[in-house]
A and B are shown apart, each in its own frame.
Chain A
Amino acid sequence: MDQNNSLPPYAQGLASPQGAMTPGIPIFSPMMPYGTGLTPQPVQSTSSLSILEEQQRQQQQQQQQQQQQQQQQQQQQAAQQSTSQQATQGTSGQTPQLFHSQTLTTAPLPGTTPLYPSPMTPMTPITPATPASESSGIVPQLQNIVSTVNLGCKLDLKTIALRARNAEYNPKRFAAVIMRIREPRTTALIFSSGKMVCTGAKSEEQSRLAARKYARVVQKLGFPAKFLDFKIQNMVGSCDVKFPIRLEGLVLTHQQFSSYEPELFPGLIYRMIKPRIVLLIFVSGKVVLTGAKVRAEIYEAFENIYPILKGFRKTT
């Protein structure tokens, strides 16, 4: 964490070069200002609930993200070429070049923010203090996304239940209409206030698309439905580390984060502080991660827990 202190004395002269590129955080790089010349994001709350428009909008966003990534990579390469000249002039050691090559290989996952803010010099390591450790190579898969949206008008649930397909309404048990669609395979809870919960989607875009489809169904039944304040409330991911884990050992050393009661539940419940994610860790090596608002939190939490789990691998 104290990267500035670990700077060797000969490199401190390079600590704050004027106008240097900082590949760690492209946002702050002068070459990549926050508002680039790229097409700005489309307005979130469109009046039309057309599914075709929604899909087109999602495709446009994906293309923009790809273009941004390509530009970032080009700038990183340009930055490292210019700073490698500085490195060879100012220093004699192999160490800066070692860290230098580290920055080339450890590109952040799309959507992640770097764990440590990068200093102005490219000489110091951007990766955490153990450059020898590699990433796990395992990517958690998203299993469930829960999102909410406000349709902006009062709804008559009985009308919706009687006229819409694939709807359930049992006001004695639960005060909402439960509706399902096949593509994306999701379930929605629609309340008389006009608010709606959409569950079951496997990606953020699918969740948004599904919510729009439900809103369209309600609109076609005659209600003046809008699509206000769509927000993803929770994301669940899962993955497999492919080795058995000593949960008993883990709860002993990480007791401030873990709770493990095998008589109650066979999994260890690990409450990570940063990012604020709850992980269910099982003896088999399967891990469930939940509580994320963005995909990057799931990835970050897994990268944090993986070296810990490796330390508690069962050897028998």
Chain B
Amino acid sequence: MAYQLYRNTTLGNSLQESLDELIQGSLNTYRFCDNVWTFVLNDVEFREVTELIKVDKVKIVACDGKNTGSNTAE
């Protein structure tokens, strides 16, 4: 019975990966529902070759795509 519980947890990805990101301080929250990922990040640096943008809060909404995934950042 205990082993069945273990199998369920490995299926459910209880690997604390998301929490490790939380501990590093960047990821505030995450959500996955209806195949849509929603992340809220804090204190983010967007770095391009020429430009550097610093933001207090970023919300990323990501869906699965056939060819390209669609990303919106507010």
Residues of A within 8 A of B (CB): 146, 148, 158, 161-162, 165-170, 173-174, 176, 178, 180, 182, 185, 187, 189, 197, 199-200, 233-234, 291
B1-17 CB mask vs A (1 if < 8 Å, else 0) is 11001101101111010
Min CB gap A275→B, angstroms: 14
Cβ B23 vs Cβ A161 within 8 A: no
Cβ B14 vs Cβ A165 within 8 A: no
Residues of B within 8 A of A (CB): 1-2, 5-6, 8-9, 11-14, 16, 18-19, 22-23, 29-33, 35
CA distance A158 to B31 in the complex (A): 11
Cβ B5 vs Cβ A180 within 8 A: no
Most buried by A among B1, B13, B33: B33
- The answer to whether residues A178 and B14 also contact, given A197-B8, A199-B9 and a CB cut-off of 8 A, is yes
Q: List 27 A-B contacts (CB under 8 A).
A: A146-B5, A146-B6, A158-B33, A161-B32, A161-B33, A162-B31, A166-B18, A166-B30, A167-B32, A167-B33, A168-B13, A168-B30, A168-B31, A168-B32, A169-B32, A170-B32, A180-B18, A182-B19, A182-B23, A187-B9, A187-B12, A187-B14, A197-B8, A197-B9, A200-B14, A200-B16, A234-B5
Cβ–Cβ < 8 Å partners of B5 in chain A: 146, 148, 197, 233-234
Q: Total number of A-B contacts with CB less than 8 angstroms?
A: 70
CA distance A158 to B2 in the complex (A): 27
Cβ B9 vs Cβ A162 within 8 A: no
In the complex, what residue of chain A is closest to B11 when comparing beta carbons? A174
**A-B complex: 8 closest residue pairs judged by Cβ atoms:** A187-B14, A168-B32, A161-B33, A165-B29, A234-B2, A178-B12, A169-B33, A199-B14
Min CB gap B55→A, angstroms: 20
Cβ B31 vs Cβ A189 within 8 A: no
Cβ A146 vs Cβ B16 within 8 A: no
Q: Which DSSP category, helix, strand, loop or mixed, fits chain A's interface?
A: strand
- The answer to whether residues A182 and B6 also contact, given A162-B31, A170-B32, A189-B12 and a CB cut-off of 8 A, is no
In the complex, what residue of chain B is closest to A197 when comparing beta carbons? B5
In the complex, what residue of chain A is closest to B2 when comparing beta carbons? A234
Cβ B19 vs Cβ A146 within 8 A: no
Min CB gap B37→A, angstroms: 9
In the complex, what residue of chain B is closest to A233 when comparing beta carbons? B2
Cβ B6 vs Cβ A234 within 8 A: yes
Cβ B12 vs Cβ A146 within 8 A: no
Min CB gap A272→B, angstroms: 15
Cβ–Cβ < 8 Å partners of A200 in chain B: 14, 16
CA distance A96 to B13 in the complex (A): 57
In the complex, what residue of chain B is closest to A236 when comparing beta carbons? B6
Min CB gap B42→A, angstroms: 13
- The answer to whether residues A170 and B8 also contact, given A165-B29, A180-B19 and a CB cut-off of 8 A, is no
CA distance A174 to B19 in the complex (A): 20
CA distance A162 to B61 in the complex (A): 13
CA distance A259 to B9 in the complex (A): 25
CA distance A63 to B52 in the complex (A): 55
CA distance A197 to B2 in the complex (A): 11
11 more CB-based (< 8 A) A-B contacts, given A182-B23, A187-B12: A161-B31, A165-B29, A166-B18, A166-B30, A167-B32, A169-B32, A170-B35, A174-B8, A185-B19, A197-B8, A197-B9
